Structure 1
């Protein structure tokens, strides 16, 4: 199935028994989503594991010939502080324990699973110098349905140090695994079935396990609260850390990339659904299709803009050269300028996907072990400016098209534009009809506006001034996930209003883009609570995206 912009970005169902191959080269955004949803199991080809093993062996040789950053030295401002050879293994443990200082609410299992998938694939690209047992443990966790407890706050777009340190302590057995499956009550358990240790860096008995509220549209149905994996739960075998493993594991933006992959996928679905919702609203106001004519867009060849116009024409079943100017010479911007506002969002989503798929398929570790094993390169490739800027760009572009969605919703309530009753009310003259949905949509739009504040404009000076800037891609990724929720609400409000308008219209279009939602959404137009209507419309958006 085509997964390009001009086809779709659907995640096709896996054939029975199929998995997602983690080879360090070909992981895609849909693959990350499948693994995050536990809809597929990871498969690691032997040659990819061999690549990781060669990198591990090369790192050991290079370390024997001279100190490597983070292995024979401290990190950050302590980069020049030597570490004795006999202390390297303990130094790695101290690094994991000291960096596991994340805070805030625990992330949902789905987001943590996305991180595990990304990190395993990056390590299989070679260049990290980590022992392959860590890769095996990461993929085992995905396969067994367990995940580490990862806190929300800690990353700044220069490496997800706290999240990966918490993960590392779980991989070596110092923190318990969590599971989405409900387990028998009781305190968290360690790998031996007893309570976990309580020394520094360990989880105390009764560790509070909680989940953040799921973003509507980003969780695959109701899930139980995450709970510690019980004694009967199969768990990955604890890894015995060796010199160099700690920094090799930490040197990545895997959590940010996992969140970005999830946000990118869900926003792509919503952006496809927007074509259908905008088409319904255009029909609801008897709008002109002149602004969607192929000739108009051929003169200004922006791919996303032309695609948005073509999708509206296709969904409404009009010929390539639309005839009839509608009832007005020019429609309001929400209708007339829809392609120009929506096209950049399509382009921004495509740009983000390309960047995510580069980053999840290449090594990011510092130092980077060369492919031939002869050199270790110290670098700043973990500085996630390309990712942060792409996320900010998509968040801003989604805001632009969402603003026109709210404008179309308002227009649908205007009798002077539609020829229908004001606010689409059919009761007594004082009836409010769909009036309140303007308020609901604009409330969600305000949240989108907050999400669109560029995270890249942030600034931080850390580690005694050695790290004097940050990309803040981590914050941009969280904003994108919040934007999924807010944009879903804006579109759902417009969809409810557009379907109501077309039900009152003298000649609604006999096309699936109308008949499909009309068969599902409540039909009554009396004054009543519309919360259930909006919820049903939100559930319909992925269906409309696939029309």
Structure 2
């Protein structure tokens, strides 16, 4: 059971999205949210309050009568429009988890019963049915409005769910005022990327050992010379993997390796650094009240603001995708080294015989296709904005698109790592090195023991699929380091 207390983590979102834990809200948080709900009612009776005593968007100057009991429901219904393909259940659960965590931080002023509704949705797996298109970087309005209509019973849930009473204006806009869908799916993407990033170092070490690489590239002195964040982290990881492999008689084949082996610590460090920064931004967003307006009972004010504008999140997502585009060609360089007779010491493309056989030639093409996808997804979405609602939102960001592009990059990166793993393991086997290693390198080879041994020309789709199934377990061989804590926000 995950008890939410206002300090949610990316890992909590992932566990709730996977359905591996139930969730509850701490009694202290519940009492605080109930108190702020009452205080918000008092504040909005004395001060003009956007979306509660006025319309929204370009209708912000239009007053809403206190006698209009249907305004909250009209607001939800009108904002629930979406289109496209359905979102998968895991993504929807991630959104619900993110929104529930955000609402545990007082400020929205909404009815505390809504938190109970989200808890029931998650614990009973009674999910809203949401579609792909609607979100921008100023709020996932349609997805959250659709969620509200599902809680109320106007839209069906995926499993039986006792409906709530209709909502008033005190809760409609505050619930929608969030980028929870963008945040939730970003949490899933960074968790997967963190595993793949660690797996990349394990696979790199298999390629390094197969190609008789020069360990000076990840020496402490080389890491210091890089003068860049997280290079020492990656280099220390590689030194540990290399030492653990137990190859005391290792003799480098070259005085200076090609970039695929030599600059990996520097290039991969950019992924680690941007990923850590993105995790920090996501956790700040999970644990901050960003609803517009915010209720500040201590200051006796209703705060109208632009803090929901997800510029930092969009930049963090784009930066991580760009870092992947930087390191992807370095991975391809190692794949080419594995296939090249000048560096593998055997046949071209690691073919079984030197008779013109293609061996792993097409695996190199598959890797190139994955890199093309990563590069296409690296076009920064944060440079794009749009004018909406009669100019009321004159510079709306595309943070939601940044999240989608990171998802695309992570999926392609998985394919790229599969290609390297298949080649590294084939060369290790051809050289008779596959039973020599201890430590994590030895564990990795043992995990991959089920990959086919047949090196003759054949359909390799199954090899790549089998390699893909191993990547998460390979990433788990290395310890997970949590870069950000709630206290460090």
**Structure 1 counterpart of 2:419:** 493
Matches for 1:379-528 after TM superposition, within 5 Å: 379-427=305-353, 429-508=355-434, 509-511=436-438, 512-514=440-442, 515-528=445-458
Shifted more, 512-521 versus 496-505: the winner is 512-521
Displacement of 1:42 in angstroms is: 0.5
Displacement of 1:347 in angstroms is: 0.8
CA distance in 1, matches of 2:407, 2:295: 34
CA distance in 2, matches of 1:255, 1:427: 52
| 1:140 aligned counterpart, secondary structure | helix
From 512, 530, 533, the equivalent of 2:463 is: 533
Displacement of 1:112 in angstroms is: 0.6
Shifted more, 494-503 versus 287-296: the winner is 287-296
**Structure 2 counterpart of 1:106:** 86
* Alignment TM-score, normalising by the size of structure 1: 0.84
Q: Which runs of 5+ in 1 are unaligned?
A: 1-18, 179-228
CA contact (8 A) 1:21 1:27 kept: no
Q: Deviations over 1:108-163 (max 9, x none)?
A: 01101111111111111110011011111011100001110111111111011111
CA distance in 1, matches of 2:332, 2:227: 27
**Structure 2 counterpart of 1:28:** 9
CA distance in 1, matches of 2:245, 2:463: 32
**Structure 2 counterpart of 1:157:** 137
| 1:469 aligned counterpart, secondary structure | strand
Matches for 1:190-269 after TM superposition, within 5 Å: 229=159, 233=160, 235-269=161-195
**Structure 1 counterpart of 2:481:** none
CA distance in 1, matches of 2:11, 2:403: 17
Displacement of 1:237 in angstroms is: 3.5
Q: Deviations over 1:50-99 (max 9, x none)?
A: 11111211111012113211011011111101111111x31111111111
Q: Deviations over 1:207-228 (max 9, x none)?
A: xxxxxxxxxxxxxxxxxxxxxx
Displacement of 1:293 in angstroms is: 0.8
> Are positions 1:96 and 2:76 aligned together?
yes
| 1:67 aligned counterpart, secondary structure | coil
Query: 1 or 2, which has the higher helix percentage?
Result: 2
CA distance in 2, matches of 1:373, 1:96: 29
Displacement of 1:107 in angstroms is: 0.4
CA contact (8 A) 1:399 1:445 kept: yes
CA distance in 1, matches of 2:421, 2:247: 26
Shifted more, 263-272 versus 58-67: the winner is 58-67
CA contact (8 A) 1:137 1:171 kept: yes
Q: Report the CA distance shift for 1:436/1:395 in structure 2 as closer, same or farther (over 3 A).
A: same
* Alignment TM-score, normalising by the size of structure 2: 0.93
CA distance in 1, matches of 2:416, 2:25: 41
CA distance in 1, matches of 2:431, 2:247: 24
Displacement of 1:356 in angstroms is: 0.4
Displacement of 1:325 in angstroms is: 6.3
CA contact (8 A) 2:328 2:371 kept: yes
Q: Which runs of 5+ in 2 are unaligned?
A: 478-489
> Are positions 1:278 and 2:260 aligned together?
no
Superposition RMSD in Å:
1.8
| 2:366 aligned counterpart, secondary structure | helix
| 2:148 aligned counterpart, secondary structure | helix
**Structure 2 counterpart of 1:146:** 126
**Structure 2 counterpart of 1:54:** 35
CA contact (8 A) 1:293 1:309 kept: yes
**Structure 2 counterpart of 1:224:** none
CA distance in 2, matches of 1:59, 1:344: 44
CA contact (8 A) 2:388 2:396 kept: no
Q: Deviations over 1:443-478 (max 9, x none)?
A: 111111111111101120111112111221100111
Displacement of 1:516 in angstroms is: 2.1
Q: Deviations over 1:290-309 (max 9, x none)?
A: 11111221344544211212
Matches for 1:294-313 after TM superposition, within 5 Å: 294-313=220-239
Displacement of 1:323 in angstroms is: 9.0
Shifted more, 66-75 versus 487-496: the winner is 66-75
| 1:177 aligned counterpart, secondary structure | coil
CA contact (8 A) 1:69 1:75 kept: yes
